[in-house]
C-alpha cells in the first residue's frame, strides 16, 4: 500500500490571537486525493481561500512544485507518505513543555499540549491542506441566515474509549461543563455561544447570542472543539486530567507529569485510511517534555526520542545544519515584535510610536534572533501565505528609515506640548522589556543601539520572567514590550483584541460594559472595533477581508505595535518515521493541514521498514 501524492498548501485560513504560541500557515494546494468524504462543510465565514487552489499535482510526484509561496518561505508542504504503511511500533516524541492538564475545558493548551491531546480527543472540525475548515467528528455544519444558529450533524458510529456512544446529547451535555470550565468559559463568551441543544440523535443546534459567521473556527480548537465524555468528566473532573476519555485514535495509558505521557492504540477507532485500513498505525506513543532546546534536539539525534517539536528558530537552524533528520517546517501568522502601551507617555503620541518603528531594522533583529533564512519579516498579523495577507498593508507598514524615524521623534521631542512633561529637547525615556531569553536580549540590543544612536532616546533594557512579563502587560505597567501577535485561527476568534481596554474608554465610545483584558497595547479605535464586529456578521470573504485589512492598515498608520518576523516552527523526526505531514480528513479524504504550529498529528504516522 504505497501512497505518494503531493500537495502544496496554497492558502490559509485564518485566524489569529494575541501572544499565541507560535503558529503558522503553509502554502500549497490540496490534492484531494483518495476517497473524499462527502461532507464538505457548509460553514460560512471566511473559509473561502482568496484564490483557487493551484492545479492538482500529478499522482506519485516526488517533490512539491514551487510557485505561490512567499519569497524566503520554508514551509513544508503537506504530502502523502512516501513509503508503504505498516502497523505496529512504539515511538517517543520530545515536546518543548508539559501539558498542564488533559482536559480541554479546564486546562490551557498550547502547541506541545495539542500534540498529546490530539491523540486522545477528536475535534469536531479540522483544517484541510488549504487551511479551510472541514468536518471531522462532525459530518456537516450550516448556519441560518444571520449566523446566530448553527446546525451540526455528527458522524455516526463513533464511541468513546469507555464504550459510550457519541450522540448529539453528548455535545449538549458537554456545554454546561464548558460554560464552567476555567479555560472554555472565556471562549464560550467570546464565541457568543449561549445554548447547545440536541435536535436529533446526531443533530446538534448551537445558538449564539449574536451573529458569528466564523463560529465553526471555535470547533477546531480544544476548548469548544474537542469532544470529551461529559458524564465521566462531571463524575470525577480531577481524575479526568490524568485519565481523559475521548474518541481519539489513542487511549491514555499512563501519565507521569513532567516525564512521560503514554498513549496506546485505540483498537476501536472509527477512522480508517483510504484503503479501509483502520487507524492508527502505531502501537503507542510516549510524549516526553524536554524543555531544553539543545537536549531535545540531542535526544532525537541520539535516538532517545524519535521526533521532536520546536518553536525556536535557533533549533531549526541547528537541525538544518545537522542534516540527518526529516524536518517539517511551518511558518504561519504568529508574528513576533512588541507593543507600545499607548496609555503612557510618550507612547500616547503616534509620532513617537511611528518614529521608533521606523528605527526598527527588521533584518538585523531577525538576524539577532537567529532567524535569517527561516523567519519572514512581519508587516501585519498575517503571513504572506495567509488568505488574509494584504499587500496594501505590507506597503503601508513603516519600513526602516533612520532619517524618517529621527524626524518624527525629533518633532515630538521639540514639541512644547509633548505629552511626557519633559522640557523641549530632552530625550524621551523608553523602557524596552523582554523575557530573559538570550536571542530576545540580542534582538533588544539591536533595537536599543539604533534608538540610542538617534541621541533622542534614553533606552532602558529590562528583563522579567515570562509570567511577570505577561503580568506587567495585563496590569498596564509595560512601556515598550516584547510580544507576539496572532495565530492561524480565524481572525474572528480574536475580536476582543480590538475591544476597549478600559471602562473609561468604553464609556467614551458608547460601549459601556465592553472591556477587554486582552487588548494589551491599550489601543482602541472605534472603526477597528466596528470592522471586527462587522466581519463576523457576514460570510462574504471580500467584505471580511476588507474589514481586517482596514484594521491592519490602521495599525500601520497608528503603530500601537511593531513586528520582527513570523514565527517558524518545526517537527523534526528520524527519517524512519513517515506520515507526519500526510494525515487526511476522515476515511482517507483530502489531506489535512500538516504540522501547523508544530502541532503534530500522529494518527497516520508509521515506522518504515
Partner 1 sequence: MALMLFARLARLAATLFAVTLITFSMVSLLPGDPVDAILGQTERTPEIEEELRTELKLDEPFVQRYLNWLGDAVQGDLGESYINRGQTVTGEIKNRVPVTGQLALMAIMMAVAVAVPVGILGAYRQGKWQDTTTSAAAQVALSVPNFITGIFLIYVFSVRLGWLPASNWNRITNKGLVENLKTAIMPATALALTQMAIFSRLVRSDMIGTLQQDFILAARAKGLSNRFILFRHALRPSSLSLATIIGINFGALLGGTVVIETLFAVPGLGFRLINAINSRDILMIQGITVFVAAAYVIINALVDILYTFIDPRIRKS
Of 46, 53, 289, 378, which one interacts with partner 1 (CB under 8 A)?
Answer: 289
Closest distance between partner 1 and the C-beta of residue 418, in Å? Answer: 30
Where does 63-192 show beta strands of DSSP type E?
90-95, 125-127, 133-135, 138-143, 149-154
Whole-number Å distance between alpha carbons of 423 and 429: 12
What long-range pairs does 544-550 form, CB within 8 A, spacing at least 24? 544/45, 544/46, 544/213, 544/491, 545/50, 545/387, 545/388, 545/390, 548/382, 548/388, 548/390, 548/491, 549/388, 549/390, 549/392, 549/393
Where does 96-222 show beta strands of DSSP type E?
125-127, 133-135, 138-143, 149-154, 193-198, 203-208
Closest distance between partner 1 and the C-beta of residue 350, in Å? Answer: 27
Of 17, 45, 49, 565, which one interacts with partner 1 (CB under 8 A)?
Answer: 17
Residue closer to partner 1 by CB (options 87, 464) is 464
Q: Which stretch in 4-12, 292-300, 360-368, 527-535 sits in contact with partner 1 by CB under 8 A?
A: 292-300
Concatenate the DSSP letters of all residues of 500-536 into one string: -SSHHHHHHTT-TT---TT-TT----HHHHHHHHHHT
The residues facing 431 across adjacent strands are: 460
| Helix (H) / strand (E) containing 369 | none
Closest distance between partner 1 and the C-beta of residue 171, in Å? Answer: 20
Closest distance between partner 1 and the C-beta of residue 491, in Å? Answer: 14
Whole-number Å distance between alpha carbons of 168 and 230: 12
Strands ordered across the beta sheet of 193-198: 138-143, 149-154, 203-208, 193-198
Residue closer to partner 1 by CB (options 222, 444) is 222
Q: Which three cell numbers stand for residue 296?
A: 531535545
The residues facing 578 across adjacent strands are: 606
Site map 197..216 versus partner 1, x via CB under 8 A: --------------------
Closest distance between partner 1 and the C-beta of residue 358, in Å? Answer: 29
3-state secondary structure 236-302: CHHHHCCCCCCCCCEEEEEEECCCEEEEEECCCCCCECCCCCECCCCCEEEEEECCCHHHHHHHHHC
The per-type count for the chain, helices as H runs and strands as E runs, is 17, 18
Residue 86: CB atoms within 10 Å: 14
**HSE on the CB side for 78, CA within 13 Å?**
34
Of 117, 190, 345, 505, which one interacts with partner 1 (CB under 8 A)?
Answer: 190
Q: Which stretch in 31-39, 57-65, 116-124, 182-190 sits in contact with partner 1 by CB under 8 A?
A: 182-190
Residue closer to partner 1 by CB (options 91, 305) is 305
Does residue 189 belong to the site contacting partner 1 (CB under 8 A)?
yes
Closest distance between partner 1 and the C-beta of residue 294, in Å? Answer: 7
Residues 430-489 that bind partner 1 (CB under 8 A): 464-468, 470-472, 474-475
Closest distance between partner 1 and the C-beta of residue 243, in Å? Answer: 11
Closest distance between partner 1 and the C-beta of residue 298, in Å? Answer: 5
Q: Which stretch in 303-311, 440-448, 543-551, 567-575 sits in contact with partner 1 by CB under 8 A?
A: 303-311
Does residue 94 belong to the site contacting partner 1 (CB under 8 A)?
yes
Residue closer to partner 1 by CB (options 483, 545) is 483
104 CA to centre of own chain: 16
Of 38, 157, 163, 303, which one interacts with partner 1 (CB under 8 A)?
Answer: 303
Does residue 295 belong to the site contacting partner 1 (CB under 8 A)?
yes
Which phi-psi region, left, alpha or beta, contains residue 127 (left: φ > 0; alpha: ψ -120 to 50)?
beta
The residues facing 265 across adjacent strands are: 250
Give the chain's length.
Answer: 609
Nearest to 324 by CA among 298, 287, 356: 298
Q: Which three cell numbers stand for residue 313?
A: 528558530
Q: Which three cell numbers stand for residue 335?
A: 508574528
Residue closer to partner 1 by CB (options 449, 471) is 471
Closest distance between partner 1 and the C-beta of residue 528, in Å? Answer: 18
Closest distance between partner 1 and the C-beta of residue 41, in Å? Answer: 23
End-to-end CA distance of the chain: 13
Whole-number Å distance between alpha carbons of 10 and 367: 27
- The site that binds partner 1 (CB under 8 A) totals a number of residues, namely 58
Q: Which stretch in 58-66, 419-427, 513-521, 560-568 sits in contact with partner 1 by CB under 8 A?
A: 513-521
How does DSSP classify residue 603? T
The residues facing 310 across adjacent strands are: 570
Residue closer to partner 1 by CB (options 357, 495) is 495
Residue closer to partner 1 by CB (options 179, 419) is 179
Of 15, 23, 158, 187, which one interacts with partner 1 (CB under 8 A)?
Answer: 187
Does residue 517 belong to the site contacting partner 1 (CB under 8 A)?
yes
Residue closer to partner 1 by CB (options 144, 466) is 466
Residues 63-82 that bind partner 1 (CB under 8 A): none
Of 291, 425, 436, 438, which one interacts with partner 1 (CB under 8 A)?
Answer: 291
| Helix (H) / strand (E) containing 398 | none
Whole-number Å distance between alpha carbons of 288 and 307: 10
Q: Which stretch in 132-140, 183-191, 400-408, 568-576 sits in contact with partner 1 by CB under 8 A?
A: 183-191
Question: Phi and psi (nearest 5°) for 184?
Answer: -75, -20
Q: Which stretch in 96-104, 267-275, 310-318, 401-409 sits in contact with partner 1 by CB under 8 A?
A: 96-104
Closest distance between partner 1 and the C-beta of residue 291, in Å? Answer: 6
Residues 218-257 that bind partner 1 (CB under 8 A): 223, 237-239, 241, 256-257
Of 162, 259, 277, 453, which one interacts with partner 1 (CB under 8 A)?
Answer: 259
Q: Which three cell numbers stand for residue 402?
A: 533612520
Residues 106-145 that bind partner 1 (CB under 8 A): 106-108, 110
Please report, as ranges, the residues that interact with partner 1 according to CB under 8 A: 17-20, 94, 98, 100-101, 106-108, 110, 182-183, 185-187, 189-190, 223, 237-239, 241, 256-260, 288-292, 294-296, 298-299, 301-305, 464-468, 470-472, 474-475, 496, 515, 517-518
Amino acid at each position: 500500500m504505497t501512497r505518494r501524492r503531493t500537495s502544496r498548501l496554497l492558502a490559509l485560513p485564518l485566524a489569529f490571537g494575541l501572544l499565541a504560541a507560535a503558529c503558522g500557515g503553509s502554502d500549497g494546494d490540496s490534492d484531494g486525493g483518495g476517497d473524499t468524504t462527502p461532507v464538505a462543510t457548509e460553514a460560512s465565514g471566511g473559509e473561502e481561500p482568496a484564490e483557487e487552489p493551484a492545479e492538482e499535482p500529478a499522482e506519485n510526484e516526488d517533490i512539491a512544485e514551487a510557485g505561490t509561496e512567499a519569497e524566503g518561505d520554508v514551509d513544508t508542504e503537506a504530502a502523502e507518505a512516501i513509503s508503504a504503511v505498516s502497523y505496529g511500533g512504539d515511538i517517543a516524541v520530545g515536546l518543548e513543555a508539559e501539558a498542564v492538564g488533559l482536559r480541554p475545558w479546564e486546562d490551557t493548551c498550547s502547541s506541545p499540549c495539542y500534540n498529546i491531546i490530539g491523540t486522545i480527543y477528536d475535534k469536531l472540525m479540522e483544517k484541510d491542506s488549504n487551511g479551510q475548515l472541514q468536518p471531522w467528528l462532525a459530518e456537516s455544519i450550516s448556519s441560518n441566515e444571520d449566523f446566530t444558529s448553527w446546525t451540526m450533524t455528527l458522524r455516526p458510529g463513533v464511541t468513546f474509549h469507555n464504550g459510550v456512544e457519541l450522540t448529539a446529547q453528548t455535545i449538549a451535555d458537554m456545554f454546561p461543563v464548558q460554560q464552567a470550565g476555567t479555560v472554555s468559559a472565556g471562549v464560550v463568551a467570546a464565541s457568543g455561544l449561549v445554548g447547545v441543544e440536541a435536535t436529533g440523535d446526531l443533530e446538534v443546534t448551537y445558538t449564539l447570542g449574536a451573529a458569528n459567521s466564523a463560529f465553526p473556527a471555535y470547533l477546531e480548537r480544544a476548548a469548544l472543539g474537542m469532544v470529551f465524555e461529559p458524564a465521566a468528566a462531571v463524575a470525577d473532573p480531577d481524575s479526568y486530567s490524568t485519565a481523559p476519555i475521548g474518541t481519539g485514535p489513542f487511549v491514555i495509558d499512563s501519565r507521569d507529569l513532567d516525564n512521560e505521557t503514554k498513549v496506546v492504540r485505540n483498537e476501536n477507532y472509527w477512522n480508517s485510511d483510504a484503503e479501509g485500513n483502520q487507524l492508527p498505525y502505531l502501537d503507542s506513543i510516549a510524549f516526553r517534555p524536554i524543555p531544553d532546546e539543545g537536549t531535545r534536539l540531542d535526544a532525537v539525534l541520539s535516538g532517545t526520542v524519535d521526533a521532536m517539536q520546536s518553536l525556536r528558530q535557533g533549533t531549526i537552524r541547528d537541525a538544518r545544519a545537522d542534516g540527518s533528520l526529516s524536518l517539517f517546517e511551518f511558518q504561519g501568522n504568529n508574528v513576533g515584535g512588541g507593543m507600545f502601551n499607548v496609555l503612557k507617555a510618550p507612547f500616547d503620541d503616534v509620532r513617537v510610536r511611528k518614529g521608533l518603528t521606523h528605527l526598527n531594522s527588521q533584518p538585523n533583529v531577525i538576524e539577532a534572533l537567529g532567524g535569517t533564512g527561516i523567519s519572514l519579516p512581519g508587516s501585519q498579523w498575517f503571513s504572506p501565505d495567509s488568505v488574509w495577507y494584504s499587500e496594501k498593508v505590507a506597503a503601508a507598514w513603516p519600513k526602516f528609515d533612520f532619517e524618517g524615524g529621527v524626524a518624527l521623534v525629533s518633532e515630538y521631542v521639540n514639541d512644547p506640548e509633548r505629552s511626557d512633561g519633559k522640557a523641549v529637547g530632552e530625550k524621551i525615556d523608553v523602557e524596552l522589556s523582554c523575557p530573559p531569553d538570550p536571542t530576545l536580549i540580542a534582538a533588544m540590543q539591536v533595537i536599543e543601539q539604533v534608538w540610542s544612536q538617534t541621541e533622542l532616546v534614553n533606552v532602558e533594557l529590562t528583563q522579567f520572567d515570562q509570567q511577570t512579563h505577561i503580568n506587567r502587560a495585563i496590569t498596564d505597567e509595560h512601556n515598550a514590550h516584547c510580544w507576539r501577535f496572532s495565530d492561524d485561527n480565524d481572525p474572528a476568534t480574536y475580536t476582543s483584541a480590538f475591544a476597549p481596554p478600559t471602562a473609561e474608554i468604553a464609556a467614551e465610545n458608547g460601549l459601556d460594559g465592553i472591556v477587554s483584558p486582552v487588548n494589551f497595547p491599550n489601543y482602541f479605535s472605534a472603526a477597528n472595533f466596528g470592522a471586527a464586529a462587522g466581519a463576523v456578521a457576514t460570510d462574504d470573504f471580500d467584505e471580511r477581508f476588507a474589514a481586517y485589512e482596514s484594521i491592519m492598515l490602521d495599525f500601520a498608520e497608528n503603530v500601537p505595535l511593531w513586528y520582527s518576523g513570523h514565527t517558524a516552527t518545526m517537527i523534526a523526526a528520524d527519517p524512519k518515521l513517515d506520515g507526519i505531514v500526510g494525515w487526511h480528513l476522515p476515511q482517507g479524504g483530502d489531506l489535512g493541514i500538516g504540522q501547523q504550529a508544530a502541532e503534530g498529528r500522529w494518527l497516520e504516522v508509521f515506522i518504515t521498514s
